[in-house]
Amino acid sequence: MSNGVAANGFPAKTHTASQRYLSTRGDDSGLSFEEVVLKGLASDGGLYIPEHVPSAPQWESWKDLSFVDLAFNVLSLYISPSEIPDEDLKDIIRRSYSTFRAEDVTPLIHLQDNIHLLELFHGPTFAFKDVALQFLGNLFEYFLVRRNEGKTGRDRYHLTVVGATSGDTGSAAIYGLRGKQDVSVFMLHPKGRVSPIQELQMTTVLDANVHNLAVTGNFDNCQDIVKALFADPDINSTHKLGAVNSINWARILAQTVYYFHSYFSLARQQPDSFKIGDKVRFAVPSGNFGDILAGYFAHRMGLPVDKFVIATNENDILDRFWKTGRYEKNPTFGSAAEGGVESDGVKAHEDGVKETLSPAMDILVSSNFERLLWFLAYQFASSAGMDDEWNKKQASQEVSSWLSDLKTKGGFGPVYKDVLETARRTFESERVSDQETLDTIRSLYKDVNYVLDPHTAVGVEAARRSAARPGGADVPIISLSTAHPAKFAGAVTLALQDEEGFEFDAKVLPAEFVGLDKKEKRMRDVENDWKVVRELVKEEVEEELKGLR
Ligand SMILES: Cc1ncc(COP(=O)(O)O)c(C=O)c1O
Ligand SMILES: N[C@@H](CCOP(=O)(O)O)C(=O)O
């Protein structure tokens, strides 16, 4: 590093005296870590990003650290001891990962050829979301205890979390926040469009602070309601809204850790062929773009990455962007008949969302893509030779204009050639159909006796295609396994029912899921209307507080 510029092209900052955050849309800046974690979404509708991406100094020396110690080193680059003293941060991290079933939290296994699988599903709800949401739950608690010291009744800071889920964020957030003081959690899921196990995992949690809302609509409708609530001055002045979706910066930050961890696991497992400093590829099943964005930050911090492979299902807005430079909510896709059209056996809804075998990725608009767009626009602006403030302002203006077109016209682009080329240098993309998903589950079962969940299968198929391209076989690929197969019994059974000796209950089902369907459930149906949801949230928080105070 020299003249104040890091190797990653961003202004150098090796230690975070006090990291500050700005909104991707430019109207909010100078916020602390605690402020962005509690606010979730910026008041201008943008997403928070750090003003500087710190380089990880001597990251190579972290090779033999445990997950918890590694997490502390990574997170300390963004959270200064003046905000959370080191011992407190260590304690939060330790408690967050003590609930995981695997000793090294996110184990890496060799799958086939040069493809390795990063198992991210060993947390309480069997999905990768636990890695960030166990941490975020404890972080909320820490900040609230500190803010509420000595306060009673209405003076206490009460956080009203509103989140949207296509299945996994919901249960992970609920497990991270259930029973916590001074927090109410409202999770909106698309009614009937999450897997039966996912629905049970959410609705059988009966703690008074947990509220499940089944929305008549799709995941994007749920996400839009959440964003409308954050933009509403009425509920924001009476209730302090908090976010658990990956719009919350802490989600992304916590997920950067396993990119480093898996890289080091690979170096330990393959000492003869893989050395620290060598490049690796990551294949990531993607929907809201939070998981892969965390990898992008790890790369910006110094992790040697050859390419990130974005793996989408048939809801392929991201894949289309990388192919065309246009980001559009599927303009030609739609319904010919009530209930949608069928293509390749996949049900298409009138709203344009396809109902696939990997439902957690049935998303039209990927919210975190906005963060990447900001960095792409920033890099483009930087080539003009102006100062850093100007570059940031330009990036925010560009992002605001793209997002405004997305809202009003349903899409934007094509983006400038240089912007697309920059995106293509770091990322490539693949779209995987339902049939290919089933074939992948089947072939891995036959070849190596491993049962993939359908989202992970989308990633593995994309990894295989990437490996098959010229030069691809020479680079190890880490494919992210984002959920346990038992969460998606329908797809797994469809793929493997004809395989000799395959029995779902014996081979896949964990003891934790047995009997879930017999438990008492609680959820409320609600129409797709943010004002209706707003009134319901107010009413239920009031009821909850009456019971407590
Ligand atoms: C099992 C599973 N895989 C993949 C994804 C996609 O991750 P992201 O939304 O961070 O792109 C999700 C949902 O977020 C998920 O629940
Ligand atoms: N697939 C997600 C959708 C929400 O994504 P998030 O990462 O932004 O919380 C889910 O399972 O709920």
Per-residue pLDDT tens over the stretch 71-87: 999 999 999 999 999 99
Name the closest ligand to CA 285. 1
pLDDT band at 292 (very low <50, low <70, confident <90, very high): very high
* 482 CB within 6 A, ligand 2: no
Q: What is the pLDDT of residue 103?
A: 96
* 482 CB within 6 A, ligand 1: yes
pLDDT band at 15 (very low <50, low <70, confident <90, very high): very low
- Assess contact for 174 and 494: CB atoms under 8 A: no
* 245 CB within 6 A, ligand 1: no
Which residue has better confidence, 345 or 133? 133
* Distance of alpha carbon 117 from alpha carbon 119, whole angstroms: 6
Q: Which atom of ligand 1 is nearest to the CA of 246?
A: 10
Average pLDDT for 51-66: 95
Annotated catalytic residue 227: no
* 340 CB within 6 A, ligand 1: no
Q: Which of 37-41, 153-157, 189-193, 234-238 has the lowest mean pLDDT?
A: 234-238
Average pLDDT for 461-474: 95
Q: How many other C-beta atoms can be found within 10 angstroms of the C-beta atom of residue 381?
A: 19
Which residues neighbour 270 within 8 Å (Cβ) at sequence distance 6 or greater? 476
* 221 CB within 6 A, ligand 2: no
* 256 CB within 6 A, ligand 2: no
Helix or strand or coil: residue 109? strand
549, pLDDT greater than 80: no
* Distance of alpha carbon 337 from alpha carbon 171, whole angstroms: 34
Q: How many other C-beta atoms can be found within 10 angstroms of the C-beta atom of residue 449?
A: 8
Phi (first) and psi of residue 122, to 5 degrees? -95, 15
Q: At what angle do helices 369-382 and 417-426 cross, to 10 degrees?
A: 120
Q: What is the pLDDT of residue 11?
A: 37
375, pLDDT greater than 90: yes
Q: What is the pLDDT of residue 345?
A: 57
* Probe target for ligand 1 pocket from 253, 286, 289, 296, with the most ligand atoms within 8 Å of CB: 286
Q: What is the pLDDT of residue 346?
A: 61
Per-residue tokens: 180: 């916590």
Per-residue tokens: 12: 């150098």
- The Å distance, Cα 265 to ligand 1 centre, comes to 23
Protein residue with least CA distance to atom 15, ligand 1: 360
* 318 CB within 6 A, ligand 1: no
343, pLDDT greater than 70: no
* Probe target for ligand 2 pocket from 120, 129, 213, 224, with the most ligand atoms within 8 Å of CB: 129
* Distance of alpha carbon 147 from alpha carbon 149, whole angstroms: 6
- The Å distance, Cα 168 to ligand 1 centre, comes to 8
Convert the pLDDT of each residue in 386-415 to its tens digit. Answer: 999 999 999 999 999 999 999 999 999 999
241, pLDDT greater than 80: yes
- The Å distance, Cα 294 to ligand 1 centre, comes to 12
* Distance of alpha carbon 109 from alpha carbon 449, whole angstroms: 13
- The Å distance, Cα 135 to ligand 2 centre, comes to 16
- The Å distance, Cα 29 to ligand 1 centre, comes to 29
- Residues paired with residue 190 on neighbouring β-strands, in sequence order: 215
Closest CA to 229 of 196, 186, 200, 198: 186
pLDDT band at 50 (very low <50, low <70, confident <90, very high): very high
* Distance of alpha carbon 250 from alpha carbon 355, whole angstroms: 30
Q: Which atom of ligand 2 is nearest to the CA of 165?
A: 12
- The Å distance, Cα 60 to ligand 2 centre, comes to 32
pTM of the full predicted structure?
0.94
- Assess contact for 165 and 193: CB atoms under 8 A: no
* 466 CB within 6 A, ligand 2: no
* Probe target for ligand 1 pocket from 308, 455, 479, with the most ligand atoms within 8 Å of CB: 455
Q: Which of 13, 39, 90, 129 is catalytic?
A: 129
Helix or strand or coil: residue 327? strand
Angle at 46 between CA 256 and CA 315, to 5 degrees: 70
Protein residue with least CA distance to atom 12, ligand 1: 360
Protein residue with least CA distance to atom 9, ligand 1: 288
* 199 CB within 6 A, ligand 2: no
* 289 CB within 6 A, ligand 1: yes
- The Å distance, Cα 212 to ligand 1 centre, comes to 20
Q: Which atom of ligand 1 is nearest to the CA of 290?
A: 10
Closest CA to 325 of 406, 241, 421: 421
* Probe target for ligand 2 pocket from 130, 135, 166, 488, with the most ligand atoms within 8 Å of CB: 166
ipTM tops 0.90: yes
Protein residue with least CA distance to atom 12, ligand 2: 165
Give every strand in the sheet of 48-50, ordered side by side.
29-31, 21-23, 48-50
Q: What is the pLDDT of residue 3?
A: 35
Protein residue with least CA distance to atom 9, ligand 2: 245
* 166 CB within 6 A, ligand 2: yes
Per-residue tokens: 298: 């790890």
Q: What is the pLDDT of residue 305?
A: 98
Q: At what angle do helices 388-409 and 369-382 cross, to 10 degrees?
A: 140
- The Å distance, Cα 369 to ligand 1 centre, comes to 13
Q: What is the pLDDT of residue 338?
A: 31
Q: Which atom of ligand 2 is nearest to the CA of 127?
A: 11
- The Å distance, Cα 386 to ligand 2 centre, comes to 37
- The Å distance, Cα 111 to ligand 1 centre, comes to 21
